[in-house]
Amino acid sequence: MVKQAPVGAHYGLRDWLLQRITAVVMIIWTLFFAGLLIWCPPQGWADWRQMFTGNFLRPLTLLFIAALLYHAWIGMRDIWMDYIKSTALRLTLQASTALLLIFYFIWSVAILWG
């Protein structure tokens, strides 16, 4: 019988790296979007809609959201791991976080392609 808490499966380095890769994706999107808002701000609803449903910003935004959600997953998991000592409660919070993030991703696809 292996008595081991479901932690410490050596995915630390991979997640550490992915947290940084997703950060770089978000930096690029943020600078790009800020530039868009500054240099060609959308005039009215039609522009706004065109901006997000156009074939340029739409996939980029979904990529940003995917990076954001994965980044948030690692960050929140770290926070739960640091402060929640009870394994049962921590796993519950981690699972809720993961489910919420998956929900957000599906919602984002529905928003952008809806």
Tell me which residues touch another protein (CB under 8 A). Answer: 20, 23-24, 27, 30, 44-46, 48-49, 52-53, 68-69, 72, 75-76, 79, 104, 107-108, 110-111, 114
Tell me how far apart the alpha carbons of residues 61 and 54 are, in angstroms, rounded to a whole number: 11
Shortest spacing between CB 61 and another protein, in angstroms = 9
**In this structure, how many other beta carbons lie within 10 angstroms of the beta carbon of residue 99?**
10
For another protein, give the closer residue by CB, 3 or 39: 39
Check residue 56 and report its DSSP letter: T
For another protein, the closer CB: 6 or 44: 44
Q: At closest approach, how far in Å is the CB of 36 from another protein?
A: 15
Nearer to another protein, 33 or 91 (CB): 33
- Closest to another protein by CB, 4 vs 40, is 40
Report the C-alpha gap between 111 and 42 in whole angstroms. Answer: 18
Min separation Cβ 108 and another protein, Å: 6
Question: CB 4 → another protein: shortest distance, Å?
Answer: 27
Spatial separation of the C-alpha atoms in residues 14 and 27, rounded to whole Å = 20
Q: Do the Cβ atoms of 90 and 81 come closer than 8 Å?
A: yes
Q: 43 φ, ψ to 5°? A: -100, 100
